[in-house]
């Protein structure tokens, strides 16, 4: 996967604790991955975004078909206990799609988070390319992904 210049120079951000524990023996475990966050027509209490694209960095650990953990910077993105999302492996990266309507009544829009860069053929073969349901981490928030601070929007 493609690593950011910031990570190559400063080795930051490192794996959050949950990812570091899951990394040994994983199919894919990489930190400092380039992440593209795209939002379109997001409407939620206190947040309106017509179109937004932001580049950042993150970490991802793929243990097996049922265990995929991810973080943007040092904040967990995928993990147990949160709202639903969709995950898809592709040659150009790992795509996570979040329906904003799952966050609160009256919210709408879509956020796509792509861990960019080529995915190894062995990982693609093991994981497949079909879409599957995953859960966001308990503390994941819209503002965290869209660059508006750490407070949760509409939940």
Question: Which residue range(s) make up the domain with 45?
Answer: 5-140
25 inside domain: yes
pLDDT at 8: 72
How far apart (Å, rounded) are the C-alpha atoms in residues 64 and 67? 5
Q: Name the helix (H) or strand (E) containing 17.
A: helix 17-22
114 inside domain: yes
152 inside domain: no
154 inside domain: no
Q: How far apart are the first and last CA of the chain?
A: 32
Question: 3-state DSSP helix/strand/coil percent for the chain, to nearest 5?
Answer: 15, 50, 30
37 inside domain: yes
Mean pLDDT value of segment 11-16:
74
| Alpha-carbon torsion angle 119, 123, 124, 129, nearest 10 | -100
pLDDT > 90 fraction of the chain, expressed in percent and rounded: 51
147 inside domain: no
pLDDT at 154: 42
Backbone angles phi, psi at 99, to 5 degrees: -85, 115
Residue 149 scores a pLDDT above 50:
no
Strand partners, 113: 37, 96
> Taking the complete model, does pTM exceed 0.75, yes or no?
yes
Overall domain count for the chain: 1
Mean pLDDT value of segment 27-37:
93
56 inside domain: yes
């Amino acid at each position: 996967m493609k690593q950011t210049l910031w990570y190559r120079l400063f080795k930051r951000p490192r794996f959050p604790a949950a990812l570091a524990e899951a990394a040994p023996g994983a199919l894919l475990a990489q930190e400092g991955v380039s992440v593209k966050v795209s939002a379109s027509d997001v409407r939620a209490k206190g947040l309106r975004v017509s179109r937004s694209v932001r580049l950042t960095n993150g970490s991802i650990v793929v243990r097996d078909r049922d265990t995929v953990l991810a973080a943007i910077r040092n904040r967990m993105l995928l993990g147990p206990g949160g709202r639903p999302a969709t995950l898809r492996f592709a040659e150009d990266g790992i795509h996570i799609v979040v329906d904003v309507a799952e966050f609160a009544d009256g919210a709408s829009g879509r956020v796509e988070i792509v861990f960019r860069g080529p995915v190894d053929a062995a990982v693609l073969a093991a994981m497949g390319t079909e879409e599957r349901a995953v859960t966001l981490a308990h503390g994941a928030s819209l503002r965290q992904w869209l660059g508006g601070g750490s407070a949760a929007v509409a939940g």
